[in-house]
Amino acid sequence: MHNWQHWNRKANIVLCVLVILGLIAALPIGAVRWKMEKTSDKVQMVFDYRDLVQIAAYKSHPKQFLKDELVKMQAAGINAMAVFESSLQELSWAGRLSLYNTATASELQGKPAAADENFTYVLFAGGEDEKAIRPVIEATFKQWGISTSSWSYEGHGGLILETPLEDAILKPMVPDPIAVSELHEAGFTLMPRLSDRVPFDAASVDAMLGSFEQMGVKRILFEGDSVKGFTDNAELKSLNQFAELLNKHGIGIATIENSKPQKGMGTLGYLTHYNVVRLYSLSDNDSASMKPEEIADRFQLAAKDRSIRMFYLNGAPSSSPVKSAITDPLQNLYDAMQDKDGVLAKMDKLGFEIGQPQPFQYESPSWIKPLKGIVVVGAIAFITLLISAFVTGVAIPVFVLGLIGSAGLYVLSKPILEQALALGASISAPTLALIWAIRRVRAHTIGNRRPIGGAADTTRIDVDQVRWFFPGLGAWRRLMMAITIFVTTALISMSGIPFIVGLLNNITYKLVLEQFRGVSLLHLAPIALVALYLFLYTGDSVIGNLRKLLKMQITLLWVGVAGVLGVMALYYLSRTGNEGQASSLELMFRNTLESTFGVRPRTKEFLLSHPLFFFGLFLALRYRAAWVLFIVGSIGQLSMVDTFAHIHTPLLISIIRDLLGLVLGALIGLAMIGVWQIGEGVWKRWAPRATQLKQGYKSGV
Say how far apart CA 501 and CA 426 lie, in whole Å.
11
Closest CA to 435 of 547, 531, 519: 531
Positive/negative CA dihedral, 68, 69, 73, 74: negative
Largest CA distance in the chain: 118
Least confident of 79-93, 133-147, 181-195, 450-464: 450-464
How do 318-320 and 325-327 pair as beta strands? Answer: antiparallel
Phi, psi of 254 (to 5 degrees): -125, 145
**Confidence at residue 576, expressed as pLDDT on a 0 to 100 scale:** 59
* One domain for residues 168 and 309: no
* One domain for residues 507 and 420: yes
Say how far apart CA 123 and CA 125 lie, in whole Å.
7
| Average pLDDT for 483-508 | 96
Domain count of the chain? Answer: 3
Residue 489 lies in a domain: yes
How do 252-256 and 156-161 pair as beta strands? Answer: unpaired
pLDDT at residue 360 is higher than 60: yes
**Confidence at residue 554, expressed as pLDDT on a 0 to 100 scale:** 66
The domain of 50 spans 42-85+179-354
Residue 692 lies in a domain: no
Domain limit, last residue, from 173, 208, 223: 173
| Average pLDDT for 146-170 | 94
Identify the band that residue 480 occupies on the pLDDT scale cut at 50, 70 and 90: very high
Which of the given ranges, 228-242, 506-520, 575-589, has the highest pLDDT on average? 228-242
Whether residue 278 contacts residue 309, with contact meaning beta carbons closer than 8 Å, is answered with: yes
**Confidence at residue 44, expressed as pLDDT on a 0 to 100 scale:** 97
* One domain for residues 96 and 136: yes
**Confidence at residue 143, expressed as pLDDT on a 0 to 100 scale:** 86
| Average pLDDT for 650-674 | 95
Give the residue, 537 or 488, on which the prediction is more confident: 488
Q: Which helix (H) or strand (E) holds 310?
A: strand 310-313
pLDDT 10s digits, 21-36? 999 999 999 999 999 9
Residue type, 630: F
Identify the band that residue 700 occupies on the pLDDT scale cut at 50, 70 and 90: low
pLDDT 10s digits, 197-210? 888 989 989 999 99
**Confidence at residue 585, expressed as pLDDT on a 0 to 100 scale:** 61
pLDDT at residue 85 is higher than 70: yes
pLDDT at residue 64 is higher than 60: yes
All residues at 6 or more sequence positions from 543 whose CB lies less than 8 Å from its CB, including other chains: none
SS (H, E, C) 416-456: HHHHHHHHHHHHHHHHHHHHHHHHHHHHHHCCCCCCCCCCC
CATH of the domain at 58: 3.20.20
| Average pLDDT for 161-178 | 93
Say how far apart CA 488 and CA 497 lie, in whole Å.
15
| Average pLDDT for 676-683 | 87
pLDDT at residue 377 is higher than 50: yes
All residues at 6 or more sequence positions from 350 whose CB lies less than 8 Å from its CB, including other chains: 300, 303, 304
Give the residue, 606 or 554, on which the prediction is more confident: 606
How do 148-153 and 156-161 pair as beta strands? Answer: antiparallel
* One domain for residues 134 and 61: no
Percent of the chain with pLDDT over 90: 68
Whether residue 243 contacts residue 271, with contact meaning beta carbons closer than 8 Å, is answered with: yes
Kindly report the number of other CB atoms within 10 A of residue 522's CB atom.
24
**Confidence at residue 557, expressed as pLDDT on a 0 to 100 scale:** 58
Give Cα separations from 270 to 276, 410, 502 (angstroms).
9, 20, 20
Identify the band that residue 683 occupies on the pLDDT scale cut at 50, 70 and 90: confident
Whether residue 184 contacts residue 215, with contact meaning beta carbons closer than 8 Å, is answered with: yes
pLDDT 10s digits, 593-615? 776 777 888 888 988 899 999 99
Residue 691 lies in a domain: no
Domain limit, last residue, from 312, 335, 354: 354
Residue 193 exposed, middle or buried by CB count within 10 Å (0-12, 13-18, 19+): buried
DSSP-derived secondary structure letter, 366:
T
Positive/negative CA dihedral, 236, 210, 88, 310: positive
Give the SS3 label for residue 300: helix
Angle among Cα 422, 426, 429 to the nearest 5 degrees reads 135
* One domain for residues 150 and 116: yes
Residue 695 lies in a domain: no
Say how far apart CA 15 and CA 399 lie, in whole Å.
9
How big, in percent rounded to 5, are the helix, strand and coil portions of the chain?
A: 60, 10, 30
Which alpha helices (H) appear in 575-650, and where do they start and end? 584-597, 603, 610-620, 629-642
**Confidence at residue 252, expressed as pLDDT on a 0 to 100 scale:** 96
Give the SS3 label for residue 124: strand
Residue type, 107: E
Residue 214 lies in a domain: yes
Whether residue 253 contacts residue 268, with contact meaning beta carbons closer than 8 Å, is answered with: yes
SS (H, E, C) 446-479: CCCCCCCCCCCCCCCCCHHHCCCECCCCCHHHHH
pLDDT at residue 372 is higher than 50: yes
**Confidence at residue 95, expressed as pLDDT on a 0 to 100 scale:** 86
**Confidence at residue 579, expressed as pLDDT on a 0 to 100 scale:** 46
Residue 491 exposed, middle or buried by CB count within 10 Å (0-12, 13-18, 19+): exposed
Give the residue, 549 or 224, on which the prediction is more confident: 224
Positive/negative CA dihedral, 126, 129, 131, 136: negative
pLDDT 10s digits, 612-627? 999 999 999 998 888 8
Say how far apart CA 200 and CA 245 lie, in whole Å.
12
How do 97-101 and 148-153 pair as beta strands? Answer: unpaired
Whether residue 84 contacts residue 223, with contact meaning beta carbons closer than 8 Å, is answered with: yes
* One domain for residues 272 and 392: no
Domain limit, last residue, from 289, 321, 354: 354
**Confidence at residue 573, expressed as pLDDT on a 0 to 100 scale:** 55
**Confidence at residue 243, expressed as pLDDT on a 0 to 100 scale:** 97
Say how far apart CA 91 and CA 136 lie, in whole Å.
12
Residue 475 exposed, middle or buried by CB count within 10 Å (0-12, 13-18, 19+): middle
Give the SS3 label for residue 276: strand
Whether residue 233 contacts residue 265, with contact meaning beta carbons closer than 8 Å, is answered with: no
**Confidence at residue 197, expressed as pLDDT on a 0 to 100 scale:** 87
* One domain for residues 131 and 22: no
* One domain for residues 338 and 383: no
pLDDT 10s digits, 262-299? 999 999 999 999 999 999 999 999 999 999 999 999 99
Kindly report the number of other CB atoms within 10 A of residue 407's CB atom.
11
Give the residue, 693 or 117, on which the prediction is more confident: 117
Say how far apart CA 437 and CA 107 lie, in whole Å.
86
Whether residue 40 contacts residue 353, with contact meaning beta carbons closer than 8 Å, is answered with: no
Residue 697 lies in a domain: no
Average pLDDT, whole number, for the chain?
Answer: 88
Identify the band that residue 464 occupies on the pLDDT scale cut at 50, 70 and 90: very low
* One domain for residues 196 and 316: yes
| Average pLDDT for 546-556 | 66
pLDDT at residue 156 is higher than 60: yes
pLDDT 10s digits, 218-228? 999 999 999 99
Say how far apart CA 540 and CA 548 lie, in whole Å.
10
CA atoms within 13 A on the CB side of 326: 10
Give the SS3 label for residue 151: strand
Say how far apart CA 459 and CA 449 lie, in whole Å.
9
- For 637-660, letters b (16+ CB in 10 Å) and e give bbbbbbbbbbbbbbbebbebbbeb
Closest CA to 459 of 444, 468, 445, 449: 449
Residue 425 lies in a domain: yes
**Confidence at residue 460, expressed as pLDDT on a 0 to 100 scale:** 41
Question: Please, which residues bridge with residue 299 across strands?
Answer: none
* One domain for residues 139 and 164: yes
Say how far apart CA 380 and CA 377 lie, in whole Å.
5
* One domain for residues 312 and 274: yes
Whether residue 496 contacts residue 428, with contact meaning beta carbons closer than 8 Å, is answered with: yes
Identify the band that residue 1 occupies on the pLDDT scale cut at 50, 70 and 90: low
Residue 698 lies in a domain: no
* One domain for residues 57 and 102: no
Kindly report the number of other CB atoms within 10 A of residue 343's CB atom.
27
Identify the band that residue 590 occupies on the pLDDT scale cut at 50, 70 and 90: low
